[in-house]
């Protein structure tokens, strides 16, 4: 029985769980699906987002160039696995004070009502959350930045909560932020934001050390009958740097700042060579999901080592059960 609401995508990318797999998430056998040079002059393609679009799929991709300039690019695919990514970055319509590009990275895409919203980490005298919408992934209209700097990982909910648009984000600082909690904010119009609520933070101590340094929201939250299923990243600080792993949580449907469950265990971690070796070793960073409501299938798109893009599979049931099998007692 599926717990998912939303899209019906019978042909979405999928592989069955391997027989001997003890984890709730399993990798696509042909990973990485997008290599670092799938776009001319790309240094790396990772931390990218996809959605169903027309007969197939569309996406917004972080492609760092060979000058290591960070920008976001539109792409299209028939099967969600093989992608045609534009060689030119997205350009935006809008107020020049806002559209003036400093840098753009780590996009998310979220369909709400009648259009596709893009959110990303947008340079405006420091990193903040850029917002834009498109109908066709060809013309993009940029809105005001959601927040004051310094912020990263702005993730919209796929429908209004009450009467307001809603977003998760991770307030940050100007550099390689050594802290990070997830907050929830609302907006009547996607321009003015307020009613900020703390959702959850790092887990200090030994209980769940993979998320002991900082956490941040990943793909668009997935609506289930039990709550919003949030896939997020968590970071530990080892003596040789950060390790980015993936976990999940269940947020209250109407008050999403209330955490109903949270994974004590990670659900995916850097273990394959393409996740452990690259421009930033030991990073798995999820930015998008495709879901199929009837079957409960979930395909997770995640960046690997800040270099390539991977695909992994799970189901809503797997994740919900995993949080029950390995509950996190304290969420302070």
Residues of this chain, 167-196, that bind a copy of itself according to CB under 8 A? 169, 171, 173-174, 176-177, 179, 181, 183, 185-189, 191-196
Binding mask 106-145 for a copy of itself (x = CB under 8 A): -----------------xxxx-x---------------xx
Give Cα 135 to chain centroid, integer Å.
21
**Nearer Cβ to a copy of itself, position 28 or 266?**
266
- For a copy of itself, the binding residue among 5, 31, 37, 260 (CB under 8 A) is 37
E strand or H helix that includes residue 274 = helix 273-276
For residue 294, the minimal CB distance to a copy of itself (Å) is 30
Q: SS3 for 319?
A: helix
Bridge partner residues of 182 (DSSP): 200
Question: Which residues, 226 to 265, sit near a copy of itself by CB under 8 A?
Answer: 236-243, 264-265
Binding mask 48-77 for a copy of itself (x = CB under 8 A): -----------------xxxxxx-------
- For a copy of itself, the binding residue among 102, 136, 225, 254 (CB under 8 A) is 102
Cβ-based neighbours of 166, under 8 Å, separated by 6 or more: 156, 157, 160, 184, 185, 186, 187, 256
Residue 57 has phi, psi (to 5 degrees) of -140, 150
Question: Which residues, 312 to 331, sit near a copy of itself by CB under 8 A?
Answer: 326, 328
Residue 26 CB coordination number (10 Å) = 17
**Nearer Cβ to a copy of itself, position 6 or 259?**
259
User: CB–CB of 182/216 below 8 Å?
Assistant: yes
User: Residue 170 is encoded by which pair of tokens?
Assistant: 């991770």
**Nearer Cβ to a copy of itself, position 152 or 293?**
152
**Nearer Cβ to a copy of itself, position 137 or 266?**
266
Tell me the site size for a copy of itself, rule CB under 8 A.
85
CA torsion, points 246, 251, 255, 256, in degrees to nearest 10?
20
DSSP states along 109-132: EEEETTEEEEEEEEESSSEEEEEE
For residue 147, the minimal CB distance to a copy of itself (Å) is 6
**Nearer Cβ to a copy of itself, position 78 or 197?**
197
- Binding to a copy of itself by residue 94, rule CB under 8 A? no
Residue 296: DSSP 8-state: T
**Nearer Cβ to a copy of itself, position 6 or 281?**
281
User: Residue 150 is encoded by which pair of tokens?
Assistant: 């310094």
- Binding to a copy of itself by residue 91, rule CB under 8 A? no
User: CB–CB of 84/76 below 8 Å?
Assistant: yes
């Amino acid at each position: 029985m599926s717990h998912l609401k939303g899209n019906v995508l019978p042909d979405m990318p999928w592989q069955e769980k391997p027989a001997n797999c003890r984890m709730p998430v399993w990798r696509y056998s042909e990973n990485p699906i997008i290599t670092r040079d799938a776009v001319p002059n790309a240094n790396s393609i990772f931390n990218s987002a996809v959605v169903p679009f027309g007969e197939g799929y569309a996406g917004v991709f972080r492609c760092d160039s060979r000058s290591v300039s960070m920008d976001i690019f539109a792409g299209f695919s028939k099967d969600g696995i093989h992608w045609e990514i534009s060689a030119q970055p997205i350009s935006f319509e809008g107020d020049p004070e806002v559209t003036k590009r400093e840098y753009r990275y780590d996009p998310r895409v979220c369909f709400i009502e009648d259009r596709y919203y893009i959110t990303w980490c947008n340079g405006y005298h420091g990193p903040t959350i850029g917002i834009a919408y498109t109908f066709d992934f060809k013309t993009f209209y940029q809105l005001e930045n959601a927040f004051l700097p310094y912020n990263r990982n702005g993730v919209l909910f796929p429908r209004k909560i009450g009467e307001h648009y809603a977003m998760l984000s991770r307030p940050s600082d100007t550099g390689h932020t050594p802290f990070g909690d997830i907050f929830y904010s609302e907006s009547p119009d996607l321009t003015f934001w307020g009613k900020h609520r703390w959702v959850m933070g790092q887990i200090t101590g030994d209980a769940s050390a993979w998320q002991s340094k900082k956490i941040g929201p990943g793909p668009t939250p997935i609506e289930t009958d039990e709550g919003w299923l949030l896939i997020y990243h968590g970071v530990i600080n080892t003596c040789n740097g950060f390790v980015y792993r993936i976990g999940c949580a269940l947020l209250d449907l109407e008050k999403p700042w209330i955490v109903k469950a949270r994974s004590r265990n990670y659900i995916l971690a850097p273990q394959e060579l393409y996740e452990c070796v690259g421009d930033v070793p030991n990073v798995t960073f999820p930015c998008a999901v495709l879901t199929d409501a009837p079957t409960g299938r979930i395909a997770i798109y995640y960046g690997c080592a800040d270099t390539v893009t991977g695909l992994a599979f799970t189901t809503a049931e797997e994740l919900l059960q995993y949080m029950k099998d390995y509950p996190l007692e304290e969420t302070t």
